[in-house]
Amino acid sequence: MFGFNRAKKLMVAAAATAAAAAGALLTAPGAVAAPQPIVGGTTTTASAYPYVMQITNASQSQFCGGTLVSPTKVITAAHCMVGRTTSNTRVVGGRTYRNGTNGTVSTLSKIWIHPSYNSSTMTSDVAVLTLAVAQPYTTVPYVSASQTGVYAAGTTARIIGWGTTSSGGSSSNQLRTATVPVVADSVCGSSSSYGSEFIASSMVCAGYSSGGVDTCQGDSGGPLMIGGVLAGIVSWGYGCADAQYPGIYTRLTTFSNTVAAQVNS
């Protein structure tokens, strides 16, 4: 793990680029037992989750994930896009393997980072990418501002990505997925977990109290899906799949109206 300090899950994207941010998820409420191994997940395919995008550098080396919400719009994490430009960033759809060559590669015409994003507190960790080349894959809806009920403690959420399968380990070449329960704000913000570093208005936790299932380095920006709807964005956490430290996601309902203005522009 990265130690008990605030840490995004970082991955170095190709030799010619700076380190690119990549987030994590972790563990959840009560005494729910974690299923077998994202960390603790199973392999899957891009055809099973066609809306999950690779965010890459110009050489198509993946460093973050994103979610296709319209043919030309991808929602991801703000920390993935800090320091990036439209010329050195690509979005790749329809590619199951990180080292694959198939799928659709899109250049970008715009990168929007939430103006209130704070890299110290990790609040407002959301960005919207506008694609110059449309992706032909199935899109997914995202939560509206009123759908706060999706975050009820114990609700099953799905995580999907190409991140490492252990903290500091190697990235998964193949897309992986797992399910995790949403964690109560009171648990995530307790003194035995993140305490005051967890800001409920901007964040939501998901994972198992015993650890074992989580997003990790390379999964940042990817989706937290609840009921077939994008409800969160992989943001940050302590380590990967560590007990008592659930993964933290951007609470998308808080930012839905602002994001919608970008998606619809």
Tell me how far the alpha carbon of residue 196 is from its chain's centroid: 22
Residues 6+ apart with CB under 8 A from 226: 143, 150, 151, 155, 156, 157, 158, 182, 232
DSSP strand pairing (10-12 vs 19-21): antiparallel
Catalytic residue among 61, 114, 124, 125: 125
Token pair belonging to 166: 């252990």
Catalytic residue among 61, 79, 202, 256: 79
Catalytic residue among 61, 167, 220, 256: 220
For residue 54, what are the β-bridge partners?
A: 65, 92
Q: Is 152 left (phi over 0), alpha (psi -120 to 50) or beta?
A: beta
Is 114 catalytic? The answer is: no
Nearest to 28 by CA among 174, 188, 228: 188
**Residue in this structure with the two tokens 């602002």, named with its chain if needed:** 258
Is 125 catalytic? The answer is: yes
What distances in angstroms separate CA 234 from CA 2, 51, 99, 136, 145, one per listed residue? 16, 15, 22, 24, 19
Contact 54, 62 (CB under 8 A): yes
The rounded distance, in Å, linking the Cα atoms of 238 and 167 is 10
Catalytic positions: 79, 125, 220
